[in-house]
Amino acid sequence: MRPLASLLATAASAALALSAPTMAQDMAEYIEMFEPLPALPPIPSGTTMSAERIDLGRMLFFEPRISASGVISCATCHNPALGWSDRIPRAVGHDGQVGERNTPTVLNSGFLQAQFWDGREPDLEGQALGPIEADIEMAMSLEEAIERLNEFEIYRDAFAAAFPGEDDPVNPQNVALAIAAFERTLNTPNSPFNRFLKGDEAAMDESQQRGMRLFVDNGCVACHNGPNLSDSMFHRFELPGSTDEGRFVVTGDERDRFAFRTPTLLNVAVTYPYFNNGSVDNLHDAVQLMGQQMLGQDFAQDELDDIVAFLHAMTGEMPRIEIPALP
Amino acid sequence: MRPLASLLATAASAALALSAPTMAQDMAEYIEMFEPLPALPPIPSGTTMSAERIDLGRMLFFEPRISASGVISCATCHNPALGWSDRIPRAVGHDGQVGERNTPTVLNSGFLQAQFWDGREPDLEGQALGPIEADIEMAMSLEEAIERLNEFEIYRDAFAAAFPGEDDPVNPQNVALAIAAFERTLNTPNSPFNRFLKGDEAAMDESQQRGMRLFVDNGCVACHNGPNLSDSMFHRFELPGSTDEGRFVVTGDERDRFAFRTPTLLNVAVTYPYFNNGSVDNLHDAVQLMGQQMLGQDFAQDELDDIVAFLHAMTGEMPRIEIPALP
């Protein structure tokens, strides 16, 4: 248990603010802490979201032939049928190898300012190529992946259209740019929570509204805030049974041992199981564990019920993506 | 080379018929040999195509959690992005194991009267469960698969809706019935070839029309006939480098050694690579090899070009399937 001083301060101030008697006052506070989800995440400078790039990214996202086996694509673990994740504890990749960590959803991932559980990449462009090369995921060198893509006229044309004026557009950097552009379209607007934040008080029922209050009053909001319900920061958390050292592996900084990036809570009800090793498969247990570990408290059953009901209100409209016809 | 007597007889009679000078007479002949693709394949007696069954089948088709790894579904090898096949020589399944045979497309497979390369099942219901249980494919016992599905209220409800009045609807037989019902919707109407057969003479260009004539005159049509361009029969064929004994493994009948079910030619341009072990990756080589092995002849380059152009006219409209939201 390592409740952070800042976390408690925020929680205390939130609790204070929420003693205000009217919903209108509460709402102002809530909107400031959470923010409704914008239509698109920030687009990094130096990149664009052209239709051609998004289309190419969609093809590449579903393309299994840039894996050594020929059957694993981004969509294998980030499965559109499963909340763009895989709903198994830890990722399964090349030759059935099981990874160390749970697959994070790509939904709304453009709103995160740190990618992977350990934040080893700052943005989706940095993230996109890792799983292609990883021995236990797609297990293909980027050189070979580019060679395979170059065999197809349709890909050569699609890269040329997405990166006009470039001499040699089929290259790893452009693979990353295209996949990231596509991923930035995978957002889930109009969740009950978002509709509530935008003024539709009927969008969340009473239990969900009580859950929101508990979420704020107890300080969950200290880390889970902003439009994506994640501060994109790293917090130490010892998950029973996990030996994963988290961000320490990236930084070597002792303070980062067992620290993980705060995951988004958007669509959390459909992106189980939870935590870095996926060892907890229901929201009640996940919330209780978070309360104990991060806040030093046990929630009562009715509190848990309300917080979980609130978390269910985070489920937005899934992107309707047409499966591409690959060459 | 084992050209069948019946095959040659058919070819000869077809050639005779096609000496008729007018396209109108040719068309009558073509339509009789090929038949335009009906909207739906035959529905076996004792089963139905209710919307609830199709919906459930779609969920099950995309469901990876009825595999031992949790990441392999029907859609892994029968990938909608890849002509509902996988475009690799031989199927890759559980733990990266490589199977003996090339994955057949499920497109229009309801029109086949024998399933699998060796025809060991007569219909889609018989086919559907095999890959779930196969050690090198999804590697899960049906008992365990049913257990997993039963964990989800959404599946329990979907089975109850699809099989009303049954006491225990979540069972292997119903898994097969639902998947088969879904698969019977995966048909590809309106190919240029089909539009041509229906009277739109501009739907195929001159090369494609010459290719059709060659296809008929040379006897390809002896086995590749009917709406699905397959007679659903077994023909001996020794593929260079292949030791697969084909239907002999099923029947033990010496005459079936190296015999394989005639594959559909619908969408053949987008369902490469070809033959039982996927060892041929382009249509020119595949057609030449067929000519040599089955018809005892070498096609000239311009004949090959025309036949391949004709085969490209077999590509129909891909089914637009929405990826289901799984529980």
Instruction: Say how far apart CA A284 and CA A261 lie, in whole Å.
Output: 21
Q: What are the E-state strand segments in A23-81? A: none
DSSP state of B117: T
Three-state secondary structure call for residue B79: strand
Using an 8 Å CB-CB cutoff, list chain B residues near A96.
69, 94-96
Report CA B306 to chain centroid distance, whole Å: 23
Which among B87, B320, B323 has the least Cβ separation from residue A81? B323
Q: Give me chain B's average pLDDT, please.
A: 92
Which residues of chain A are under the pLDDT cut of 70? 1-23
pLDDT tens for each residue of A263-279: 999 999 999 999 999 99
**Helices then strands, each counted (H, E), chain B:** 14, 2
Residue A3: the pLDDT is 41
Using an 8 Å CB-CB cutoff, list chain A residues near B92.
69-71
CA-closest candidate to residue A43, choices A201, A180, A157, A139: A180
Contact A64 B79 (CB under 8 A): yes
pLDDT tens for each residue of A97-122: 999 999 999 999 999 999 999 999 99
Q: Return the residue in B67, B267, B323 with the most chain A beta carbons within 10 A, the one to mutate for interface testing.
A: B323
> Could you tell me the domains of chain A?
5-39+188-312 (1.10.760.10), 51-183 (1.10.760.10)
Tokens of B149: 């599905």
Q: Return the residue in A65, A74, A82, A84 with the most chain B beta carbons within 10 A, the one to mutate for interface testing.
A: A82
Q: How confident is the model at residue B28 (pLDDT cuts 50, 70, 90)?
A: confident
Using an 8 Å CB-CB cutoff, list chain A residues near B76.
71, 76
Higher pLDDT, B74 or B21: B74
Residue A18: the pLDDT is 47
Percent above pLDDT 90 for chain B? 87
Using an 8 Å CB-CB cutoff, list chain A residues near B323.
80-81, 321, 323
A323 contact B CB<8A = yes
Q: Nearest chain B Cα to A323, which residue?
A: B81
Residue B25: the pLDDT is 74
Which ipTM was obtained for this model? 0.88
Q: Is A137 a catalytic residue?
A: yes
Q: What is the pTM of this model?
A: 0.91
Backbone angles phi, psi at B230, to 5 degrees: -145, 140
Question: How many C-beta atoms surround the C-beta of residue A38 within 10 A?
Answer: 13
CA-closest candidate to residue A35, choices A249, A291, A211, A224: A224
Region B234-259 average pLDDT: 94
Residue B27: the pLDDT is 80
CA-closest candidate to residue A86, choices A75, A100, A96, A99: A75
Residue B215: the pLDDT is 97
Model confidence at B195: pLDDT above 70: yes
